[in-house]
Amino acid sequence: MSTKRALTDLAYEIIAENNKVMSFTDLWKDVLKMSEETSGDISQFYTDLTLDGRFVSLKGNTWDLKEKHKFADSFVDVEGLSVEDDEEDEREDSEDEEETIEQEEE
């Protein structure tokens, strides 16, 4: 039975050893080099990295270990975001489409 390490565990090890922020593409390349895989699902890796609480995404699609950053540096304030705005935009788009269809039918 082979023991295959999770790609996120490899990513953690790579960032910890380098002791620096890494771009996502460089991290992906290094993870593939260390893993038993010759290719992989980059979108799944990105998702796993995002969901893994040990990592933090920084500006410019760079990644680092969350333990090296203050909470304020990695916290995203979502209180100012409003779902209502998105719903309103969708309604306006839908109304525009209906008007276009009506004009085409005339």
Set out the domains of the chain in order of their start, with CATH numbers: 7-77 (1.10.10)
The distance from CA 51 to its chain's CA centroid, rounded to whole angstroms, is 8
Between these two residues, 106 and 66, which has the higher pLDDT value? Answer: 66
pTM: 0.62
d(CA 57, CA 43): 15
- Residue 68: burial class (beta carbons within 10 Å; 0-12, 13-18, 19+): middle
Mean pLDDT value across residues 82-101: 62
Paired residues of 63 in beta bridges? 22, 57
Between these two residues, 5 and 17, which has the higher pLDDT value? Answer: 17
- Largest Cα separation within the chain, whole Å, is 69
CA distances from 103 to 70, 91, 93, 97, 106 (A): 55, 18, 15, 10, 5
pLDDT tens for each residue of 12-64:
999 999 999 999 999 999 999 988 776 778 999 999 999 998 999 888 999 99
Which amino acid is present at 101? I
